[in-house]
Amino acid sequence: MTTYRLGVLLGDGIGPEIVPASVRVVDAALAAAGAAPVEWEELPLGASAIEEHGSALPATTLEALAGLDGWLLGPHDSAAYPEPYRSQLNPSGALRKHFDLYANIRPARAFEGGRAIAPRTDLVMVRENTEGFYADRNTFAGTGEYMPTPDVAVCLGIFTRPAVERIARTAFELAMRRRKKLTVVHKANVLQLSSGLFKRVCLEIARDYPEVAVDDFHIDAMTVHLLRRAADFDVLVAENMFGDILSDMTGELAGSLGIAPSINASDDRCMAQAAHGSAPDIAGKGLANPIAMVLSSGMLLDWLGTRHDDPRLTEAAVRLEDGVRAAVRGGVSTRDLGGSASTDAFTDAVVERVAAG
């Protein structure tokens, strides 16, 4: 059996609560699936790293991550960092850019026993993660924004065929593993060159996947369709900003951003990261919902299992999600889902159910 080496980046706010909870659940899922235990390596990142290393993302952390199979990234509170760190690219964006983590995969699946606005939601947002209207991740230097005068601000939107091709293939491969339906989200009617390129290339790639049913919608119409009939959609693919906005919306449709997981992946590395923020207002109080971080960790297991053709890891990923859903279905949940369980108590319930199978 292969032993995988994974990094642990606690981050800020509730990160030091939900990331260790995720490690516990991953360990339980691996044991239940008969997989080899993970070798965990904790690395500095965030406000504590600024205090100890003079950087929110120390060079030693980047060097260590380059030798690992993947890692868990806790949320960061970069808006609260002192200058000059606050104005720099935040740790998450810096990691995505440094390791070219071009695919941000964000599922939205409602929980039985949860508080879903659209209870039949079961879809995945595939977000291009390196360019689009978040040019800071693609420009050679700087943020992609500039002000020629104090009263004029200009922002770059960057679209390239290679970037669109690879995110389109990621989305189609995922659709092949699911219900074989894919929706391209764009604004090609107005942004005919940039968003038009995104749409055209996605539809070109569709020819290589004749089994997948493909449609496309403008971003504004897509928000309405999701509100009215989220259950009709399977895999959605969009550029960076559109994907960011829509995935927050679909997370709420499924119940809460507190249950919204994600991974950021390249061809050879994967970072598990909850879609929500650091929630400093509840940090250290035992109130945080660890579901999004736990499910993100399960997605990392599934990504590793698929990439390395390791069925024990994919089984562990299934056991992990089943355990989380069984806990919520059984009436155990944190305050944001209407329950009263603490972070630790909810984690205990998930570990128990994962172990029981």
> What positions carry a catalytic annotation?
134, 187, 220, 244, 248
User: Using an 8 Å Cβ cutoff, are 154 and 142 in contact?
Assistant: no
Interhelix angle 161-177/194-206, rounded to 10 degrees, is 40
Taking every pair of C-alpha atoms in the chain, what is the biggest distance, in angstroms? 63
Residues 6+ apart with CB under 8 A from 53: 44, 60
DSSP calls for 124-167? EEEEE-SSBT-GGGTSSSS-SEEEEETTEEEE--B--HHHHHHH
d(CA 333, CA 204): 44
User: Using an 8 Å Cβ cutoff, are 142 and 136 in contact?
Assistant: yes
Closest of 205, 189, 184, 191 to residue 158, by C-alpha = 191
d(CA 46, CA 66): 18
Residues found in the chain: 357
d(CA 247, CA 103): 13
In angstroms and rounded to an integer, the radius of gyration of the C-alpha atoms of the chain is: 20
What dihedral angle (degrees, nearest 10) is formed by the CA atoms of 269, 275, 278, 281? Answer: -170
Expressed in angstroms, the distance from the first to the final Cα of the chain is: 21
d(CA 44, CA 24): 19
**Beta pairing partners, 316:** none
**Beta pairing partners, 146:** 154
